[in-house]
Amino acid sequence: MRGLTELKEGHVFVRDNERFFVVDINRPLNQVVLQNVRTEKRDYVELPHLYQAVADGRLTYVQSATGQAADAPVVALTDTVLSELSKAEFSFRLRAVKEVERLLSEGHPACQAYEQCSYLEPEPSSATVRCASARTVRRWYSQYRRKGQQALVPGHSRKGRTKSELTLVQEELIRKVVHDNSEKAHLSIKDLCTKTNLQLTMQSSDPNAIRPISYARVRSVVVGLPWVVRHAHKFEPKLRRAITSFGVDSYKVQWPFERVEMDYCKLPVIALFGKSGKPVEVWSSVAIDVATGHLLAAEVFTRPPNGTDALQTFQRACYGMEEAEFERAAIKNRLRVTGAISEVVVDNGSEFRNGSFTQLATLGVKVTFAPSYSPYRKPFVERAIGALKAFVGSLPGSTVNHADRSVTDPEQGVHHACVTVDDLQAYINGFIFDDYALRTIGRHAITTCLLGESAGLTPTDRMTSKLASFTPAPPPSQEAFRLARMVRHQRSLQKAGIEFETLHYSSAELRDLYNEIGVSTRSRVVPDKLDIYVDPIDVRTIHVVHPITKQRLPAHLKYDLPFAMTYEHFREARDFARSHFKSESSMAITQAFHIRVMGAVEELERDAKSSRTAKKARRSSAAFIEKAKAATSQPSLEQTAIQPEVPALPLLQPTLAISSLKPAQRHRRPGK
């Protein structure tokens, strides 16, 4: 036995099945305080008595902190009550723990030691032993350090215990009870076992003959459930219900364009708009495919998106990018996919809850509105928006406040802004195809319905593999999209045509219709107001529904516009043309549209200012040149000084008649 100076607090002594550890050392009195691990009783022991007990064999001094000496016999392997499977499991656990101790003693980090020991293969024996994960090895080692070898003995594995087997009917009953109680705030396995046995008793005609299902059998079935169902209890009730819904068959998606999620966000960057370079805030509307995780579209706007912008994003998601757009953005991964979208999942924002966006139902598209304040209902698009914000936040003009992430810094963005809106759209397109589409996104990382996927794949790999065995339906035509986004209104028919939003529309078909039904009629067949359909992004043409034949009659605007405009942009351009050009011609409105809407006002003002400055500079230059010429024509002072004196010539005094002189006339200021 070592001396008292080598004895430290925490050293362990073993006697039969009892263990004692040193709590305190009193050096002046030459005593130690031993505490019983099981009863927590403390005893004061003299050092000579402790030496004598160790020498007689009544106490065994343990040098290891785990409670087992290095040469301690494995008592569990000699236990006749344990089954062969339990002994094999115990041997495997003990070997894993010893391997962890060896790696830790060599200086390996604990995480690496647990990870390496998780790859240990069980020794070949008659009983099959399952491999363990790094987390399980860490739990074994923690229990071994606290309780010794006895903690590694598997529980519920004594001889004579019968192992019940579940039938397919009982397994289906357990799964049904789990699904029926998924709305509960908390559902433990014990409660699940009770509910399952209750259902089993109610279904049987003879309750006494029914053998209840054990807790272990119910737990084994729950462990075999998908990840989204097993781990649903780790989240809040609302989130638990959402994650549980991902595991049902109705949410599983197999093919591209079967379900698409859409949302919009404000980008943390300040961009330059128009030729003048005006700093503006930007928003983005995003559409992503659920089956593959591929970003189908990400459109940039200089205002919060409305229903028309959402329709444009949906149309871009159906048609994809053109080759010219790929070339402009210098995209290498040019994956152009087109198809008809079957279902779109959106939130309850005003950009989706409007008549323009809900017209997608006419194209055979199912619009699903997620519950309010439930972003977890759209996990794909929320993760894509997060990645898009992180990318845009790294560009010049970013408004990200690194000191406080919850507050933006627009002044910093305006100071460093140098990216135009068009360039920002090209950068985002490059990020979609050359970065986000090549990221490995696992099914757990995005919490999606891609159950059964063994390894994480990139969206490009998923889309390519899916399209190899599946051909999507062709997208609707451009005319179909134009007709779908038309919103229905009611207006009265006048002799000059139809007035909508202070704009007058007329055509030969409307004149014939007016001659047929008149301004207003009291007939029950023909209503007072007619149904008209208006395109929100094209002000040039509307459709008037014939009240009897239900045929759509086109009506055109009196202005000949070269391209489509929204009603808001047209009114803004028309008012600008009235105030600045004093004209309402088609050419004036078109020029006003370029100036006012496209952001060229500051450019024109700068050109005018520069022209005025140039004129002033030319006038100053001309005056300077005239002065220089005048100065060169007069003799200088030096030349005047050296000139010889010339005698003055006598002045001739002309004789003038007094009658030839006229009095000077005085000009007076006229009276008021």
Domain locations along the chain: 4-62, 76-152, 168-225, 249-469, 486-558
At residue 51, the pLDDT reads 77
| pLDDT at residue 184 greater than cutoff 70 | no
The DSSP bridge pattern shows strands 366-369 and 343-346 to be: parallel
At residue 56, the pLDDT reads 81
**Domain spanning 486-558: CATH 2.40.50:** yes
Q: How many CA atoms lie within 13 A of 219 on its CB side?
A: 6
| Residue for token pair 């064999």 | 57
**Mean pLDDT value across residues 180-208:** 76
**Mean pLDDT value across residues 395-412:** 85
At residue 362, the pLDDT reads 78
Fold agreement between 4-62 and 249-469: no
Coil, strand or helix: which one is 550?
Answer: coil
DSSP assigned state of 457: B
Closest CA to 364 of 314, 292, 427: 314
| pLDDT at residue 453 greater than cutoff 50 | no
Q: Which fold has domain 249-469?
A: Nucleotidyltransferase; domain 5 (3.30.420)
Give the chain's end-to-end CA distance (angstroms, integer): 133
- Please give the class, per CATH, of domain 4-62: mainly beta
At residue 598, the pLDDT reads 61
| pLDDT at residue 516 greater than cutoff 90 | no
Provide the pLDDT confidence category of residue 636 given band limits of 50, 70 and 90.
very low
The predicted-structure confidence for 318-349, as pLDDT tens digits, reads as follows: 998 888 888 888 888 888 899 999 999 998 88
Least confident span in 98-112, 173-187, 425-439, 466-480: 173-187
**Residue 545 parent element (H or E):** strand 538-545
At residue 235, the pLDDT reads 44
At residue 64, the pLDDT reads 46
What mean pLDDT value characterizes the chain? Answer: 76
Of the options 3.30.70, 3.10.620, 3.40.50, 1.10.10, the CATH number for the domain spanning 76-152 = 1.10.10
The predicted-structure confidence for 16-30, as pLDDT tens digits, reads as follows: 778 787 777 777 777
- Residues 454-475 as b/e (b if ≥16 CB within 10 A, e otherwise) read eeebbbbebbeebbeeeebeeb
Most confident of 416-430, 553-567, 627-641: 416-430
| pLDDT at residue 535 greater than cutoff 80 | yes
| pLDDT at residue 236 greater than cutoff 50 | no
